């Protein structure tokens, strides 16, 4: 089986990016771009990001996760700490996040180190979730092999009855991570594949070095 995709072509020409136009702080630049993407209403989930970790088997693995908050410190997402990604982060907290916004012909690649957020912050977010999402976090031994879909549905049915009319506590194995960036790359598609790539690298004095990369 094969399919030749060599004729897939697109010219990128919606915007440009220069050293003189970017913010001095990459989080401010990220916020600027995020606001612009949101304003277009061209994506259902502009907060969807690829999370890349190095697994216990030594292989990198990517998966889509929803960013739930960003601050001057970094990016926050939530997951099961005992999942495949949670175990990978526990062994090696160095990871990569990437956002792809095709409607703006942009992507952002962030390297950083992950750490668990405070328990009260995870509690607060868990309490804000719909009941179904809360139960889903409790019922799923994320990344573990299960015998069938019915097995999971039966567990969920039992939990719905157990917690009917009751508050659902956050499981200790579920919570948030903060990824503290050490590097950002902002990529803007340009004609003739001469894309704009601006990289920020965190320095020892906590300033950010700004450089242009060849496309």
Can you list the domains of the chain with their CATH numbers? 26-118+177-212 (2.30.110.10)
Treating both helix axes as pointing N-terminal to C-terminal, what angle do 149-162 and 131-139 enclose, rounded to 10 degrees? 120
Which residues are registered as beta bridge partners of 113? 94, 180
Beta strands in 85-173, from DSSP E residues, in sequence order: 94-101, 106-116
Q: Average pLDDT for residues 187-196, to the nearest whole number?
A: 96
Q: Which of 107, 88, 163 is nearest to 131 (CA)?
A: 163
| pLDDT surpassing 90 at residue 9 | no
Give tens-digit pLDDT for 142-160: 999 999 999 999 999 999 9
DSSP 8-state secondary structure symbol assigned to residue 204: T
Give tens-digit pLDDT for 99-158: 999 999 999 999 999 999 999 999 999 999 999 999 999 999 999 999 999 999 999 999
Catalytic residue list:
193
Residue-level pLDDT at 207: 97
Residue-level pLDDT at 10: 87
Give tens-digit pLDDT for 32-86: 999 999 999 999 999 999 999 999 999 999 999 999 999 999 999 999 999 999 9
Residue-level pLDDT at 88: 98
Helix (H) or strand (E) holding 198: strand 196-202
């Amino acid at each position: 089986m094969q399919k030749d995709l060599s004729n897939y072509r697109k010219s990128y020409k919606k915007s440009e990016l220069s050293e003189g136009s970017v913010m001095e702080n990459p989080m401010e630049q990220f916020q600027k771009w995020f606001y612009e993407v949101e304003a277009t209403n061209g994506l259902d989930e502009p907060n969807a990001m690829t999370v890349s970790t190095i697994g216990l088997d030594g292989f990198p693995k990517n998966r889509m996760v929803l960013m739930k908050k960003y601050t001057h410190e970094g990016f926050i997402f939530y997951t099961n700490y005992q999942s495949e990604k949670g175990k990978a982060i526990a062994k090696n907290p160095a990871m990569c996040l990437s956002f792809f916004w095709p409607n703006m012909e942009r992507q952002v690649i962030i390297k950083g180190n992950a750490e668990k957020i405070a328990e009260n912050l995870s509690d607060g977010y868990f309490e804000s979730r719909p009941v179904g999402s809360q139960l889903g976090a409790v019922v799923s031994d994320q990344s573990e092999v299960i015998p069938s879909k019915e097995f999971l549905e039966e567990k969920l049915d039992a939990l719905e009855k157990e917690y009917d009319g009751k508050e659902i506590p956050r499981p200790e194995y579920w919570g948030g991570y903060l990824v503290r960036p050490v590097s950002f790359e902002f990529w803007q598609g340009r004609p003739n594949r001469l894309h704009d790539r601006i990289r920020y690298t965190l320095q020892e004095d906590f300033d950010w070095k700004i450089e242009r990369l060849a496309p």
